[in-house]
Amino acid sequence: MIRYTLQCPDGHRFESWFQNAAAYESLAAGGHLSCPDCGAVKVEKSLMAPPVRAARKAAAAPSDTPETELARLKARIEAESDYVGTGFVKEARAIHDGEAPRRPIHGEARPAEAIRLIEDGIPVAPLPFIPTRKTN
């Protein structure tokens, strides 16, 4: 398959896919191509520029790096939720059962414990970072 940018005499540009270059030539010669905007059947290939990525360093500003985004996410989660440490499973169950006040929490759980929470209908998700352990 090949994609061409096409243009009619009125300057309307559009893209279309063809099985190969010969298929385009055959359809164009037979008048089987038309502009979707004005219906003109005289359609020609237009100058195409392939999408080119900028160099990695130029493309990603320092504030847009995955590490920076992850640091922002970590800061937001830690600021907007309570750290319950290794008591996460017990606290998540208590909140779910209405025995503790509803609030966002984060903490630590073994994978098997987290799976049991999910199986019991308690929504949890792994964090893409290790929480900062709070003391006192």
Which pLDDT tens digit goes with each residue over 78-118? Answer: 999 999 999 999 999 999 999 999 999 999 999 899 999 99
Q: What pTM does this model have?
A: 0.51
Asked if the structure places residue 127 within a domain, the reply is no
**For residues 62-90, average pLDDT:** 87
Given a contact cutoff of 8 angstroms between Cβ atoms, the answer to whether 45 and 4 are in contact is: yes
41/57 Cα distance (integer angstroms)? 45
pLDDT-above-90 percentage for the chain: 32
Asked if the structure places residue 23 within a domain, the reply is yes
- Of residues 56 and 13, more confidently modeled: 13
Same domain, 63 and 115: yes
Which residue range is the domain that position 33 belongs to? Answer: 2-45
Same domain, 15 and 39: yes
Asked if the structure places residue 112 within a domain, the reply is yes
Given a contact cutoff of 8 angstroms between Cβ atoms, the answer to whether 2 and 20 are in contact is: yes
End-to-end Cα spacing for the chain: 63
Three-class SS state of 6:
strand
Same domain, 111 and 64: yes
Asked if the structure places residue 65 within a domain, the reply is yes
Indicate whether 61 pLDDT > 80: no
Please tell me the total count of domains within the chain. Answer: 2
Asked if the structure places residue 135 within a domain, the reply is no
Same domain, 35 and 73: no
Asked if the structure places residue 128 within a domain, the reply is no
pLDDT of residue 45: 86
